[in-house]
Structure 1
Amino acid sequence: MHVIDSHTGGMPTRVILDGGPDLGSGSLAKRTLRLAKDHEAFYKSVLLEPRGQPGMVGALLVEPVDPSCVIGVIYFDAEAVLGMCGHGTIGLAVTLAEEGRIEVGTHRIETPAGIVTVELHDTNTVSVTNIESRRVAADVSVEVEGYGRVTGDLAYGGNWFFIADAEPIEVSTANIQRLKDLSIAIRKTCNERGIGGPQGQPVDHVILSGPSPNSDCLRRNFVLCPDGEYDRSPCGTGSSAFAACLAARGQLDPGQQITLKSVIGSAYRLSYQRGSEGGIIPTLTGEAHIMAKSTLIFATDDPFRAGIVL
């Protein structure tokens, strides 16, 4: 299996160029469901240690249904198949350019969440115009065991988010474990109580937002991913959902540009235009860098062929 690894603001993406499972034909949604239901062992083995690394997201290239798209892609982490991945799309665009499959300019990419547009500015810099994002519910309060009442917004940016203020915990690398523990507890409570999307979609990500220590950045966000790892980047789908909440509160105008940073300090520039269904169409800009070109080997006599499951 041939792969290219990149990182976007510190968050790794592994693009699978060939060697993935045959998902058949049909819509991308149907093929995504087949990957999730029938090939769990495959996608876990690609990302789990010792072959992968914590936080890594996989990007399986597939044929798009829409002929206007240069490629179709299904994203996944070690825990779940994802609807969309912002940092992964930035990494994918840089990888496609590295392979000579796209040039500087604008291109359409088909994802399970819908068609997104990428603009490749140079070797490393990419803008992603995401699917329509929206706040679903405001000021939702949950009683979190060991922490008390936590109030936040439910929002969608390609994945499902519970977004709350991190205070009194500072969003910094010194507090990653505390932020992770609180986020996991919030998500567990939301899912136990059935708090999520309007059609029963579970909360799969949590954002804990804090003030930025620098004037060049609006907020610094900690983002918990489905696999229990934190996003080293500011999270593209999370930034989209976060901007939708700001817009819904009248705190961000169409075309106004802001900068959001991750817990490790990497940044996305972000703006939006109004959507057609009451949400926003966000555009985020970040940088990705190629790290490796590899051939993954799955030897039958390897005792950890399927990865290390703890």
Structure 2
Amino acid sequence: MTPFPAQAPWPVLKLLQVHCQGEIGKVIVEGAPPVPGATMMEKMAAINHGHDSLRRFVTLEPRAHAAMSVNLLVPPTRPDADAGFIVLQSDRAHPMSGSNCLCVVTALLESRQVPMCEPRTVLHLDTPAGLVRAVAHCANGRCLTVTLRNVAAFAHHLAHPVNTRKWGRMAVDIVFGGVYYALVNVRDIGLEIRPEHARDLAEAGAALKREIAAQVSVSHPDLPGVDTIAYVMFRDIEPDGAVRTCTILDPARVDRSPCGTGSSANLATLYARGLVRRGDTRVSRSIGGGEFTLHVADTCTVGEHAAIIPEITGSAWIYGREELRIDPTDPFPQGFALSDTWGAPA
């Protein structure tokens, strides 16, 4: 494959600035070059294996910062989808993200790229992880809440033993919720999910991800190429029964949202342990107090794994617009990342 040229062929990229419970998920709405591939999975693979100039351009300095994602809108590759998108982050392109999907739905409807019908708009999104159904509850031209019917989530390993240098032998759940997660009980590392612990949690999660990835192999039964543990998510139980979540993303930073795919993964562990059934609902709460509602909409199987179809309900907000351009004399068309903000290279 021929990679995108170092000096981008697009004159201007237009983006909507969107956040979901504090987690930034910008959406490129105009100006992006085409991505090769017949399916969304092939397009994601193209970005991750050579065609990554656009990703680097929009996710690294001087045009971006560590605590954000950018969503690339792509024409759908299947006839039953209204739009497609791929999540771009500083490390790679990812197949699915609940908070980013909420940002994309809000951006598509409030910018009228997809017609809004009040009080309820249904649309289907083509993602590398599969088809995602979204129901937006709308009023006065605004998406008040969005409910996503996520792809099937399932427990790959429950209480899998992992040896760590700092915390000794730990039991970790390895779960697919749209991407693969390692779910860790936060008290096993002697911390709490609180804003003042964010830096310690981020550093612990980054260290654990490296150690877990070296000891645990994953491979999705139906999605070739989805074979890496993307994130570590810490969890705890609140006094009211809600799950407090803290997902650690590259480069060792905390997800500001309750994390839709991670919360889906955690719900799948509850199902695998017999703690929830079809029709049950749980609340996921972020480190900053934002909330998603998680619902076991249905059950199924994925390969040999018992799985659930989770629904995620939350809200996102458009807070601005921006245009990005590149000058042929710009010395940083591929972006850069300095360790004072991004941490030491892995």
Say if 1:194 and 1:205 are closer, same or farther in 2 by CA, change over 3 A. Answer: same
CA deviation digits over 1:18-67, x for unaligned, max 9?
A: 22232235112112211222222320220113312222112111111222
Instruction: Tell me the distance in 1 between the aligned counterparts of 2:35 and 2:191.
Output: 44
Counterpart of 1:154 (choices 174, 194, 211) is 174
1:30 aligns with 2:50: no
Structure-to-structure mapping, 1:65-214, within 5 angstroms: 65-100=77-112, 101-103=114-116, 104-122=120-138, 123=142, 124-167=144-187, 168-197=190-219, 201-212=227-238
The answer to whether the 8 Å contact 2:161/2:170 transfers is yes
Counterpart of 1:285 (choices 276, 295, 313) is 313
Identity of aligned residues (%): 25
Instruction: Tell me the distance in 1 between the aligned counterparts of 2:307 and 2:232.
Output: 20
Structure-to-structure mapping, 1:50-61, within 5 angstroms: 50-61=62-73
Q: Which amino acid aligns with 1:189?
A: E
The answer to whether the 8 Å contact 2:147/2:313 transfers is yes
CA deviation digits over 1:211-231, x for unaligned, max 9?
A: 325x2x511111012443221
Instruction: Tell me the distance in 2 between the aligned counterparts of 1:269 and 1:260.
Output: 6
The answer to whether the 8 Å contact 1:129/1:282 transfers is yes
Q: Which amino acid aligns with 2:212?
A: C
SS in structure 2 of the partner of residue 204 of structure 1: strand
Q: Which amino acid aligns with 1:187?
A: K
SS in structure 1 of the partner of residue 257 of structure 2: coil
1:235 aligns with 2:259: yes
Q: Which amino acid aligns with 1:15?
A: V
- Structure 1 residue 164: deviation in Å? 1.3
The answer to whether the 8 Å contact 2:278/2:299 transfers is no
SS in structure 1 of the partner of residue 254 of structure 2: coil
- Structure 1 residue 198: deviation in Å? 5.9
Q: In the alignment, what sits opposite 1:295?
A: 323
Instruction: Tell me the distance in 2 between the aligned counterparts of 1:102 and 1:128.
Output: 18
The answer to whether the 8 Å contact 2:235/2:246 transfers is yes
CA deviation digits over 1:178-221, x for unaligned, max 9?
A: 211221121111112244346782211111112325x2x51111
Instruction: Tell me the distance in 2 between the aligned counterparts of 1:227 and 1:241.
Output: 21
The answer to whether the 8 Å contact 1:108/1:117 transfers is yes
Segment of structure 1 superposing worse, 13-22 or 191-200: 191-200
Instruction: Tell me the distance in 2 between the aligned counterparts of 1:170 and 1:18.
Output: 41
SS in structure 2 of the partner of residue 209 of structure 1: strand
Instruction: Tell me the distance in 2 between the aligned counterparts of 1:262 and 1:197.
Output: 28
The answer to whether the 8 Å contact 2:206/2:250 transfers is no
Instruction: Tell me the distance in 2 between the aligned counterparts of 1:212 and 1:274.
Output: 25
Counterpart of 1:4 (choices 13, 16, 34) is 16
TM-score (norm 2): 0.85
Q: Which amino acid aligns with 2:64?
A: G
The answer to whether the 8 Å contact 1:21/1:39 transfers is no
Instruction: Tell me the distance in 1 between the aligned counterparts of 2:179 and 2:250.
Output: 10
- Structure 1 residue 157: deviation in Å? 0.7
Q: In the alignment, what sits opposite 2:336?
A: 308
Instruction: Tell me the distance in 2 between the aligned counterparts of 1:243 and 1:102.
Output: 32
Q: Which runs of 4+ in 1 moved over 6 A?
A: none
RMSD: 1.7
| Uncovered stretches (5+) of structure 1, i.e. residues with no partner | none
| Uncovered stretches (5+) of structure 2, i.e. residues with no partner | 1-12, 339-346
Instruction: Tell me the distance in 2 between the aligned counterparts of 1:14 and 1:171.
Output: 26
Instruction: Tell me the distance in 2 between the aligned counterparts of 1:146 and 1:35.
Output: 35
The answer to whether the 8 Å contact 1:2/1:296 transfers is yes
